[in-house]
Amino acid sequence: MKFMCQMSITFPESMSPETKADYQAQEKEYSQALQRAGEFEAIYRVAGRYANVSIFEVESNDRLHEILSGFPMFPYMDIVTTPLCKHPNSIK
């Protein structure tokens, strides 16, 4: 099952730069492991925002939820999830 997830992150203003940097390092490690495993197909930065659009290929809705809730920054994320289907005009 393929999903597009639009994610934006809002940290509390009271969070220290060191804590933010720690979250960012953990997030990078977690997301790259998912990419190497093949479940996290692509990630694109949204220009001008602390946000991304990500494409996941997973076995179930439950697996997607497990992945998303496992992100270290999950408590600070707003996520919009859209299931995707192959378009009939696609040549790939």
- pTM for the predicted model, two decimal places: 0.90
What domains sit in the chain, N to C, each tagged with a CATH number? 2-84 (3.30.70.1060)
For 69-83, write each residue's pLDDT tens digit: 999 999 999 999 999
Instruction: Look at residue 57 in the predicted model and tell me its pLDDT.
Output: 97
Please state the rounded mean pLDDT for residues 27-56. 97
Q: How far apart are CA 22 and CA 49, in angstroms?
A: 20
- DSSP class of 91: -
Q: Which two tokens stand for residue 5?
A: 């997830």
- DSSP class of 46: P
92 — pLDDT class (breaks 50, 70, 90)? confident
